Amino acid sequence: MKDADRLHDRLGHSLQEAAADDLRAGDRLLIVVRHGDAGDKRRWEGPDRLRPLSPTGCRQAEGLLIRLDDYPVERILTSPTVRCRQTVEPLARDRLLPVEPVAALGVDAGPAELRTVLSDWRLHDTVLCTHGETISQLFRQLAMDRSEVEQPPEWPKGSTWLLRYTGLRVSARYLPPLALDPVLTR
């Protein structure tokens, strides 16, 4: 039995039940992930776009496998930064999907670029890995659109937001980061 399977068994059926609540026929699901921990950017000496995940961030990336185990994922789009790509690589390997870099998910992308991605009705069951600054823009847009947000918005590193589009209505549900124990990731 894989380590991820053991952890999933320990979490019980609560993840499956939550996934069933999030998925309804005809809905469009976008899964917005903030990249995992990448250490202190002030201590990083190279270009910020090349800053990798820290050991904690790598465990959060592995935790994403468990967190999203019961959700369908057809595509994985990510900011072009190394830390975002590394956050979704374990999921991409597990689901046998390519990681697609999208500039509109980058840290410097503007609100119009983000809105273009989010309003693309061809995206179903898609993971979008991005940055805190971009997620902040997303929640400003959701507030302006009077979307239903399950709890006050927060987006710590490694966290996930499920955006369910039902017609013109959007509901958002928060999933906290799940960092696997280092023993399980060996």
Q: What is the pTM of this model?
A: 0.82
pLDDT of residue 185: 47
3-state secondary structure the chain: CCHHHHHHHHHCCHHHHHHHHHCCCCCEEEEEEECCCCCCCCCCCCCHHHCCCCHHHHHHHHHHHHHCCCCCCCEEEECCCHHHHHHHHHHHHHHCCCEEECHHHCCCCCHHHHHHHHCCCCCCCEEEEECHHHHHHHHHHHHHCCCEECCCCCCCCCCEEEEEEECCEEEEEEECCCCCCCCCCC
Domain ranges within the chain, ordered by starting residue: 3-175
pLDDT of residue 154: 85
pLDDT of residue 21: 53
- The predicted-structure confidence for 36-52, as pLDDT tens digits, reads as follows 999 888 888 888 899 99
- The predicted-structure confidence for 93-117, as pLDDT tens digits, reads as follows 999 999 999 999 999 888 889 889 9
How confident is the model over 121-146, as a mean pLDDT?
89
- The predicted-structure confidence for 65-87, as pLDDT tens digits, reads as follows 999 999 999 999 999 999 999 99
Q: What is the CATH number of domain 3-175?
A: 3.40.50.1240
